[in-house]
Amino acid sequence: MRRLLTGATAVALGVTGTLVMANSGSATADEEIRYIVAYAEGSSAASARAAVRDAGGEIVSENKDIGVATVTAGEGFAAKADASKALVGAAQDRVVAATTPDAARDARKQDVSKVETEFRTGAKGHGPKAPKPKPKGEPLSGLQWDMKQIDAGAANKTERGKGVRVGIMDTGVDGSHPDIAPNFDARLSRNFTTDIPTDANGAAVDGPCEEEADGSCEDAADVDENGHGTHVASTIASPVNGVGISGVAPQADIVNLRVGQDSGYFFLQPSVDALTYAAHNGIDVVNMSYYVDPWLFNCTSHPADSAADQAEQTTIITAMQRALDYAHRRGVTLVAAAGNQAIDYTKPQTDASSPDFASEPGEEPYVRDLLDPESCVSMPTEADGVIAVSATGPSERKSYYSSFGDGFVDVAAPGGDAYDTAEGTRDYAANILAAYPRDLAVAEGAIDPETGEVLVPWAVSDCSSGECSYYQYLQGTSMASPHAAGVAALIVGKYGKHDFSGKTLSADKVEKILRKSATKKACPVPADYTYVRHLPDGSTSTSTHTCEGGEAPNGFYGDGIVNAKAAVGR
């Protein structure tokens, strides 16, 4: 992938430990705002804390491993923090104790994942019929074209990822799902988020706390009210247990490291805290199918950005790279989705979606022309040490929505493409099937709460074991990334050494094997590939993407489509 940043080292704080509560001063405004602050490299902890206090902030928690603090302060804090030599800057998080609206939960989805729900029309009707159980394979394995594409079944004859811990940095994981529970590590799982009722403009985000099942904004570490994280976890490590499907690494441990809101936003503090937690707790692989809000692309000096916005984006880049470096050095393989914007990340772009979250009243997205692709970075996908994964459909073509770029994409993996059909018409079965939380399926009208009957064409049930479990078809680079993460888990299982957590292998070695074992896939001929989609409303959509590079690497597939069998030996 394209390397944009110099690897930052953690500041010399002289202490160990994470998330230490510390008071350093008092906020100066009636309405407090929460900020994430990055300490400048070389600054002592004492001088950085003093700088926070002098700027009018109060430290409420501190990640000492990477020199990042959570601070509450008044509105003038960010400018003062940016001016301090002891601080890199401050990224505004949200207003503390925002007013809760009398409104239903917002259905907003993170842009990296939005195509996954694009085709849900709400039409009634049964989903695809499940194939009859076979002597070998799970009941729904016949619907898993994705596992065949990467030779997962052949790999699982000799390697299934036992002793490997995979961290799911996502919207949560339904630890009670029958096809996740056997591999779910409840002891290590953590929720690093707190539900946000509204944004600064009063728009609903996660919805009122009192509407939660427990009446609280604090969700347990085995809950997923979005479905995205459960789907990702299932693709990686659903067990071979006679239920539903199997994952790429069916004996790996699933560790929920929740960093995403119910609404699909992913913010800075949960991400950095989850990465340092992963480093301390023997997590071998983490999957990151998202970008850090509120900026799709973080620019440090874009002329359209205010000084405060420039400082915020600099803080996001600095804090995330430090956390990623910290985890990478401690053996955590970092895998991320390439994004669903259908753009070439190595070419000039226009970002009209940022900032996508209002952290102060009146804040709205605005247009920025990014003429120099090297000057702005999407985190974590474009960070140093991260494996960027593009998506493929059943025919192995790059999915129509998948972003790409020669030098940006490292490998490709199945992500689904509902229009990868002979006629270019929609077929849900061309997407990726994985676990679907039952409660969410009921809330979304996908199943009848009384009978358990599937009511939509994008969901499937398996009741062969006596207890029904549910699955949904999704598509996106969010679905591609966990396939690569699953293969990475198999690599750790095959070649790793035993340690306190089970198995361990350096992240650099895992990446080397993952890329070298990928099935080489050349650019299409002609390289200007045109996608034709016949949409359900009768219209036709066309788009043309240009693949640069040779057989491998190239802009569509990187070093190739991941191959589980080749990765663990034939």
- 541 contacts 129 by C-beta, under 8 angstroms: no
Cα distance between residue 122 and residue 118, in whole Å: 11
Cα distance between residue 203 and residue 354, in whole Å: 17
With 0-12 CB in 10 A as exposed, 13-18 as middle and 19+ as buried, what is 211? middle
Please enumerate in sequence order all residues whose Cβ is within 8 A of that of 455, keeping only pairs 6 or more positions apart, or say none.
124, 125, 126, 445, 446, 447, 448
Cα distance between residue 186 and residue 221, in whole Å: 7
Cα distance between residue 110 and residue 140, in whole Å: 28
- 333 contacts 278 by C-beta, under 8 angstroms: no
**Residue 184 φ then ψ, to 5°:** -80, 125
Residue with tokens 């904004």: 217
3-state secondary structure of 137: coil
Half-sphere exposure of 64 (CA within 13 A, CB side): 14
DSSP code for 396:
S
Q: Is the peptide bond before 380 cis (omega within 30 degrees of 0)?
A: yes
Query: What is the torsional sign of CA 254, 256, 262, 266?
Result: negative
Let me know the angle formed at the C-alpha of 381 by 110 and 317, rounded to the nearest 5 degrees: 95
Nearest to 320, CA basis, from 384, 370, 375: 384
**Residue 436, both tokens:** 């679907």
Nearest to 454, CA basis, from 119, 142, 124, 228: 124
Active-site residues, by number, are 170, 228, 478
